[in-house]
Amino acid sequence: MRDPTIGVLDSGSGNLRSVSKALEREGARPEISMTVNHEWDALVLPGVGAFGHTMENLSEAREDLLSYIESGRPFLGICLGLQVLFESSEESPGAPGLGLMRGEVRRIVGRKVPHMGWNSLEVSGNCPIFRGVDSGNFFYFVHSYAACPEEDVTVATCTYSGQELTSAVSRDNVHACQFHPEKSGAAGLRIVRNFTELCREGS
């Protein structure tokens, strides 16, 4: 079975190199690009920074990105790459998200914002990227806003500042995590490996 080619979409706000290195480590062939290649076996959208700025940078690639996701091939969003799946964000009023999942991204309420550092997950549901990942494993977070889904897509949560926050979502071929798997040690690399294996299954 050949190593899958996985596109890493450059939205002008991502940890492109560290994500690519993690994919390489797990046997994938990453390709960083500002445009969508429909020959890719899968697509990863990393992101750090502001919601509105990222959506502006994605404006030219938006239709190709949506078309790629609708084709049914595996998609993984990381950090801001999760947030832009939703309809809107309080961070950037008036800037529409991709609208693939119903709900809004809202600022975390609490004295300690951003949510930065290691936190443990409560994993629920049967999501393929969490195979072999148990509740209680720690992952690395850096974010001030969190998704508030209006549909049943949450597959992992964490507790921060007395609140339960959505930490990962999944539906069909679309998976996304608020934390950074590429910076989360062995547990994070397990998620990258699981995603790569999904790509192999479909290639």
User: Pick the catalytic residue: 115, 143, 175, 180?
Assistant: 180
User: Pick the catalytic residue: 175, 182, 197, 199?
Assistant: 182
How many domains does the chain contain in total? 1
- Residue 32 confidence (pLDDT): 96
Cα dist from 83 to 47, 145, 160, whole Å: 9, 8, 18
Residue closest to 5 by CA, chosen among 54, 42, 51, 50: 42
- Residue 1 confidence (pLDDT): 60
Q: Is 115 a catalytic residue?
A: no
Residue closest to 190 by CA, chosen among 128, 142, 136: 128
| CATH number for the domain harbouring residue 133 | 3.40.50.880
Q: Is 24 a catalytic residue?
A: no
- Residue 202 confidence (pLDDT): 65
And the tokens for 72?
């049914």
Q: What range does the domain containing 45 cover? A: 5-202
User: Pick the catalytic residue: 26, 79, 158, 197?
Assistant: 79
pLDDT along the chain (203 residues), means of 10: 89 86 96 96 92 94 97 97 97 96 95 93 92 96 97 97 95 97 96 94 66
Mark 125-144 as b/e (b = at least 16 C-beta within 10 Å).
eebebbeebeeebbbbbebe
Q: What is the pTM of this model?
A: 0.96
Q: Are 46 and 149 in contact (CB under 8 A)?
A: no
Q: Is 60 a catalytic residue?
A: no
